[in-house]
Amino acid sequence: MFKSIFANNPPLCYNYAVQQFLSSLGRVCAIIGAQWGDEGKGKATDILAGHFDVIARACGGANAGHTIVVKGRKHVFHLLPSGCLHEGKPVILGAGMVIHLPTLLEEIATLREAGIDILPRLHISHEAHIIFNYYKAMDAALEERRSRAKGQGIGTTKRGIGPAYTEKAARSGIRMERLEDDLSQELQQRAKDAQTLYGVTVESAEELAALKEAAALLADRVSDTVDLIHRYRSEGKTILVEGAQGVLLDIDHGSYPFVTSSSTSSAGALQALGLPPNALTSCIGIAKAYCTRVGSGTFLTEAPEEDAQRLRDRGGEYGATTGRPRRCGWLHLPDLCRGALTNGFTHWNITKLDVLDEEKEIPIGTGVDAQGKPVFDYLPGWQASTIGITSFEGLPENARQYIRYIGEQTGVPVALIGTGPEREHMIVKN
């Protein structure tokens, strides 16, 4: 199935271990974050995209931030899937997405400056919803209200995601299928409502100008992507589904109410793309070798600040979207196990193993005691550099033990191990 793909500058070295791993993925593979987002999904997507025919992003908006480093050049994406760096591959933005058009146009222009013209192979669902600029102000106003009422906010990125999904659920949203419609009267009414309900000013002329600019470039890229993705399936093409955020932020199964506004699970991704459950042949759960989260909410295994700052500095734990410092701590096995159960993970990708290189001892949360306090196992550190190692046997023994422990405790094999920021810094484990 993958033989012809390997012929053209393969992102992964073509050896027996890689062949076995890729063959195990089947025709439709989802990549899903197993923590609170920021797990490093973008790198796995970028690497595996070279071995799939079609790249699809299902849900979420520009609150997602993916950073990919290729040949020393950093690429940051918020709406486009990380796999779009691979030329010639169709890219689908699914119906579950909420799209801020100026951000999308900026990403398209940035790629063009880097010599990548994605527009001819970009397909945007006509069912995806539009985020207007004033949604961001609504988002900020809602966050301020929550903070006043409850003493703390959700920790939203204030990118307008929540208001967009609120209007979608209220059946009053505006979808991409209306991109070329005259929305001037509708926006005038929305401006009045936004001022009355949220104290937000809507610059209608600015919103209409942004719509006009987007329509000029994107109108012929909007289509029925459900029909398109099933056509690709019927032609035998392989499809890589890129999730956004992480399962602990899922609107149903996450750490509610400190969650995002969409379903971040594999099932949510399939729903958003219009794929049936039995289409999925594999699902890779992405988890850091430690754990981070942004915003408010419980973080049982959050490290004391001295340890957290050490992880933050070594891991560059600052948001790609907001620049906010992330809260840092240790793995929590019950969360990984829950994610594996609810998403059907078939493989783990453990990222950023190298961030733990200097730790003498590594705590791993295994549950809580009668007082609700976290219980830890402690594994010995390896205190040696793992940066750039590309074989499991090349890792220090204690690093191998750490990886084996995760696989054994969760019942899901670790197949990919990230050992640095570059595309090549990845181990494929038998």
| Catalytically annotated residues | 38, 66
Q: How far is CA 151 from CA 145, 147, 294, in A?
A: 9, 5, 17
Contact 61, 107 (CB under 8 A): no
Nearest 10 degrees: Cα torsion 41, 228, 118, 85: 30
3-state SS track over the chain: CCHHHHCCCCCCCCCHHHHHHHHHHCCEEEEEECCCCCCCHHHHHHHHHCCCCEEEEEEECCCCCEEEEECCEEEEECCCCHHHHCCCCCEEEEEEEEEEHHHHHHHHHHHHHCCCCCHHHEEEECCCEEECHHHHHHHHHHHHHHHHHHCCCCCCCCCCHHHHHHHHHCCCCCEHHHCCCCCHHHHHHHHHHHHHHHCCCCCHHHHHHHHHHHHHHHHHHEECHHHHHHHHHHCCCCEEEECCCCHHHCCCCCCCCCCCCCCCCHHHHHHHHCCCHHHCCEEEEEEECCEEECCCCCCCCECCHHHHHHHHHHHCCECCCCCCECEEECCEHHHHHHHHHHHCCCEEEEECHHHHCCCCEEEEEEEECCCCCEEEEEEECCCCCCCCCCCHHHCCHHHHHHHHHHHHHHCCCEEEEECCCECCCEEECC
* Distance from chain centroid for Cα 149: 30
Distance from the first to the final alpha carbon of the chain: 19
CA dihedral (366, 373, 39, 378) positive or negative = negative
Q: How far is CA 134 from CA 194, 200, 244, 294, 430, in A?
A: 8, 7, 23, 24, 50
Cis peptide before 374 (omega within 30 of 0): no
